[in-house]
Structure 1
Amino acid sequence: MNARPAPEFPSWPQFDDSERAGLIRALEQGQWWRMGGSEVNSFEREFADFHGSPHALAVTNGTHALELALQVMGVGPGHEVIVPAFTFISSSQAAQRLGAVAVPVDVDLDTYNIDVAAAAAAVTPRTKAIMPVHMAGLFADMDALGKLSADTGVPLLQDAAHAQGARWQGKRVGELGSIAAFSFQNGKLMTAGEGGAVLFPDEESYELGFLRHSCGRARTDRHYIHQTSGSNMRMSEFSAAVLRAQLARIDDHTAIRDQRWELLSRLLGEIDGVVPQGTDPRADRNSHYMAMFRVPGITEEARNELVDTLVEAGLPAFSAFRAIYRTPAFWEMAAPDTTVERLAELCPNTEAISAEGIWLHHRVLLASEEALHAAAEIITDAVAAR
């Protein structure tokens, strides 16, 4: 591949004096945990309002957000939770750590989101939740999933780790009537290094979530009356102060990413042997956590080498998630009574995306149009060289 100058991309995480002011504000208030300070409470109100939800609960990370949400939904041993086979491992492990069996189903080859027909076929009397993941910020088919939930009586849990600020037919995540979980890990669209949040559609589930995230202890308790089992998933005041500043700029960033993806997707689609992630016109605002594409027919080993080539050329490129059932972690506890081979047969699209998929960090979509053209040229050369 011919050497080209590396395109310039913005750094990540991004911050300015807003984060500095927030950290000083949290420091000088004199109370550094949520039970005595005001930053977490303020962030929860602002995050809930931004997503159209009556209640938000800030927690330690996105994995805990999923686990807490499932606990509130009553998930435990003897239950099953349907998850997409193509997702980050936290989607399944959150259920498995509660003793519930994670049931992987295939995804759509175009959008990379959960295949609703496959999810419907996997529902059993033991199914306690269906967990769509809004992959790379693109909403799963919430119309079909909502109908499936209504027909079966199985509630949805939105894994919205990638979807801060995204919309489905004009509706925000919190306006779709189901619990939703978010991540603020270092690479996410807004971040405090770590952190998470859960949106609750009603006060009862929110209050139960609060108890469970605070060791089963009510916010006014002074006598160690632990009302239910739980863990310490409380967010710190410092993380919340940073996230308040991050939240204030996410709308502007989303608008830029959406505009830039329109260009990059077109450029990727023009490369012989490259297929960008598709879209759904009903997902009328995509937050674009990742810029994803496939190289159909490439082997997993060759894909990994291609990613290395792109990184050496200056692109923040990564291999796609491995199918969850192809990780040792998936089989450690509460695994389904089946085999890797059988799941692979049931999930051909997941197999393809996992082996052929590549993603670019979302900071690429905050770069100039010239940088995106340069990135596309690098990808063109790298793919042609293979």
Structure 2
Amino acid sequence: MSVSERPAPDFPEWPQYDDTERTGLIRALEQGQWWRMGGNEVKSFEQEFAAYHGAGHALAVTNGTHALELALQILGVGPGTEVIVPAFTFISSSQAAQRLGATAVPVDVDLDTYCLDVEATAAAVTARTRAIMPVHMAGHFADMDALAKLSADTGVPVVQDAAHAHGARWRGQRVGELGSVAAFSFQNGKLMTAGEGGAVTFPDGALYDEAFLRHSCGRPPTDRKYYHRTSGSNFRLNEFSASVLRAQLARLDAQITLREERSRLLKSLLEQIPDVVPQGRDERADRVPHYMAMFRVPGLGEERRNALVDDLIARGLPAFVVFRAIYRSDGFWETGAPDTTVDRLAAACPHTEALTADGIWLHHRTLLGTERHMHDIAEILSDALAAL
């Protein structure tokens, strides 16, 4: 039987859940208080999430975009300031800065790891730069050693966009142990999820205290007289979502271990297919959670890449085109855009341009499958490329 005639692989479903989530939801329901000020689920989740990531404090919020926005705001990002972001990322990374009135400054990424290029970042720092935002693409760390040095040399703080990096480690250090604020997402496709949700981790209590105020309309947790100490918004997470996230967190570590094993096998198989180049790995990242299984087919071009993804989906693979360069979306230019053009940014970001045209990713649920599933992926991809 040829590859094209086989039944589609039966990859594990996502999200995954069991009676742990059901028990948590009932627990949240029956406690009688469904918001964080009166219940126990959000507070317990924050403590558990902070401990797992080695952070001094964690604050649960409504979603990952709000997590980024809050993280930037407490570091002074606002009108007249700039935030350096990867040109290759989901657009929330830039929009979080732009919503605060800041200018988002895209820089190119490394063509091996798909993460922020440190030399390009250093060249983009100006007197107005208020934050550097590395995105740990697909759970792979940006070069945190070099970025820490750049931050120390320039005085510009790092804000980690860790939306893909739950449970990741850099040289034995967890995200919360790297000395910078980090933002996480719990959107439906993420490595742990409540449909929506987010969290920010903090290295010290002062930043946490300010973030708490701003995520709760500027109101202290014990206030009974409506004395709002700062401006802010309502980014509070509800008790039901937190109860689900506590269950999701409890199984995350075992899932990461399995994805690490499967990703090594899949990468070795993909490397054997002519013209396929899997995402690289900086070996200083000693634990990668693999939010996506990413690869390139260099020179394929956007039109043929899109056709290949459509074929992979038809053959049963949960495949996707990669993010478009943020400056190639109209939304990037609506507010807070730099004083330049698409063509100039494209010329300065050749790696991002290449990824936009020839990058593909597979959902992380594929990496929760069997070894046979990894061989299925490689065989399907090889067959689809031959047909293309």
Alignment of 1:1-386 (within 5 A): 2-386=4-388
CA contact (8 A) 1:156 1:179 kept: yes
CA contact (8 A) 2:107 2:120 kept: yes
CA distance in 1 between counterparts of 2:72 and 2:124 reads 18
Give the aligned CA root-mean-square deviation in angstroms.
0.6
CA contact (8 A) 2:4 2:315 kept: no
CA distance in 1 between counterparts of 2:380 and 2:209 reads 51
CA contact (8 A) 2:36 2:239 kept: yes
CA distance in 2 between counterparts of 1:371 and 1:268 reads 13
- How far apart are 1:46 and its partner, in Å? 0.1
- How far apart are 1:50 and its partner, in Å? 0.2
Q: Secondary structure at the match of 2:332?
A: helix
CA distance in 2 between counterparts of 1:4 and 1:114 reads 40
- How far apart are 1:273 and its partner, in Å? 1.2
Report the AA paired with residue 364 of structure 1. Answer: T
CA distance in 2 between counterparts of 1:306 and 1:229 reads 48
Report the AA paired with residue 35 of structure 1. Answer: M
CA distance in 2 between counterparts of 1:308 and 1:103 reads 33
Q: Secondary structure at the match of 1:2?
A: helix
- How far apart are 1:2 and its partner, in Å? 3.2
The TM-score, its normalising length taken from structure 2, stands at 0.99
CA distance in 2 between counterparts of 1:139 and 1:115 reads 12
CA distance in 1 between counterparts of 2:45 and 2:127 reads 39
CA contact (8 A) 2:88 2:352 kept: yes
**Post-superposition, which runs of at least 4 consecutive aligned residues in structure 1 deviate over 3 A?**
none
CA contact (8 A) 1:288 1:362 kept: yes
CA distance in 2 between counterparts of 1:305 and 1:214 reads 46
CA distance in 1 between counterparts of 2:73 and 2:301 reads 39
CA contact (8 A) 1:273 1:383 kept: no
- How far apart are 1:372 and its partner, in Å? 1.1
CA distance in 1 between counterparts of 2:63 and 2:16 reads 19
CA contact (8 A) 2:218 2:229 kept: yes
Report the AA paired with residue 216 of structure 1. Answer: G
CA distance in 1 between counterparts of 2:123 and 2:106 reads 11
- How far apart are 1:3 and its partner, in Å? 2.9
CA contact (8 A) 1:4 1:378 kept: no
Q: Secondary structure at the match of 1:66?
A: helix
CA distance in 2 between counterparts of 1:66 and 1:301 reads 33
| Structure 2 residues not aligned, in runs of 5+ | none
- How far apart are 1:327 and its partner, in Å? 0.4
Q: Secondary structure at the match of 2:37?
A: coil
CA distance in 2 between counterparts of 1:265 and 1:208 reads 43
Report the AA paired with residue 269 of structure 1. Answer: E
CA distance in 1 between counterparts of 2:386 and 2:173 reads 41
CA contact (8 A) 1:179 1:199 kept: yes
CA contact (8 A) 1:274 1:294 kept: yes
- How far apart are 1:191 and its partner, in Å? 0.1
CA contact (8 A) 2:267 2:278 kept: yes
- How far apart are 1:295 and its partner, in Å? 0.6
Query: Number of paired residues?
Result: 386
Report the AA paired with residue 353 of structure 2. Answer: E
Q: Secondary structure at the match of 1:344?
A: helix
CA contact (8 A) 1:85 1:325 kept: yes
Deviation readout 1:209-261 (Å, 9 max, x if unpaired):
00000000000011111111100000000000000000000000000000000
CA distance in 2 between counterparts of 1:223 and 1:70 reads 29
CA contact (8 A) 1:67 1:98 kept: yes
Deviation readout 1:252-281 (Å, 9 max, x if unpaired):
000000000000001111111110000011
Deviation readout 1:97-132 (Å, 9 max, x if unpaired):
000000000000000000000000000000000000
| Identity among equivalent pairs (%) | 73
CA distance in 1 between counterparts of 2:189 and 2:203 reads 27
